[in-house]
Amino acid sequence: MKHHFRPDFSSYHVIDYNMQTGDVLRKATWQGAADCSAWSRGQGWGLYGYVMMYRFSKDKRYLDHARKVAGFILNHPNLPKDKIPYWDFDAPLIPLAKRDASAGAITASALLELGQYTVGKEKATYIENAKDIILALSGEKYKAKSGENGGFLLKHSTGALPLNSEIDVPLIYADYYFLEALKRYKDWYL
C-alpha cells in the first residue's frame, strides 16, 4: 500500500527495491501506457488482491484500501459506459484505444467479493457495477460464439500493448475471472 499506490489509489505495475536496504529504486508500469498511467488490468488485480487479503486476514486496512481502489476504477472519467476498461485508463487515442476484457472480468469478480464485506448503498454499488460488467462481457461484442475464438469465451483482451504482445486477443485469465464472476454472482446474489 505504501509504495505501489499513488495518492489517487491507482497503482504502478512494478516496484524495484534495493535488495539490501528495501528502499524503492524505481516505480514503473511495463504493460501500461507510461510509468505515470493506470494500466487497467493492474488496477483490477490490485482491487482483487486487497479484497482477498481482507477475506483471509480480516485486517480492515486491506478492506479500506480495496474500497479506495474500487473508487478509483468506478469513478474514473475514462471508464467507458459499458465498464469494460481501455487497456490503460490513460491510454492514448481514447475512445479509439483497445479494450481489455480481462481487466473487466477481474474487476467484476473483485467487486462481487467486495460486496460480501460491505452493506447498504455501498454494497449495491459494487454489485450493480459488477453486474453491468458481466452483462457487457456476456454480450455479442465480447463473448465469442461457440466454436470460434480458439475455444476461449471472451474476445478483446490486451496483454501488453507497449510490448506489441497479445493485442486484442483472448486471454485465459479473462475467461477464468469471467467464470469466477458468474459463479459468485449466481451463488451470492441471485
Residue 184, C-alpha cell as written in the block: 459468485
Would residue 80 be called left, alpha or beta, if left means φ above 0 and alpha means ψ between -120 and 50 degrees?
beta
Residue 23 lies in a domain: no
Mean pLDDT rounded to a whole number for the chain: 97
With 0-12 / 13-18 / 19 or more C-beta atoms within 10 angstroms meaning exposed / middle / buried, residue 122 is middle
- Does any domain span residue 28? no
Q: What are phi and psi of 96, to 5 degrees?
A: -90, -5
**How do residues 110-130 score in pLDDT, each as one tens digit?**
999 999 999 999 999 999 999
What is the per-residue pLDDT across 168-184, written as a single tens digit (0 to 9) for each? Answer: 999 999 999 999 999 99
Alpha carbons 190 and 173: distance in angstroms, whole number:
24
Identify the pLDDT of residue 190: 86
Residue 175 domain-assigned (yes or no): yes
pTM score of the predicted model: 0.96
pLDDT single digits (tens) 69-109 = 999 999 999 999 999 999 999 999 999 999 999 999 999 99
Domain presence at residue 20: no
Which residue has 486484442 as its cell numbers?
Answer: 168
Residue 4 counted as domain residue: no
Structural domain including 44 reads 38-189
Stretch 141-160: mean pLDDT: 96
| CATH number of residue 174's parent domain | 1.50.10.10
- What's the total number of domains in the chain? 1
Q: Is residue 31 part of a domain?
A: no
Q: pLDDT per residue over 17-70, tens digit each?
A: 999 999 999 999 989 999 999 999 999 999 999 999 999 999 999 999 999 999
Report yes or no on 25 lying in a domain. no
The whole-number pLDDT of residue 63 equals 98
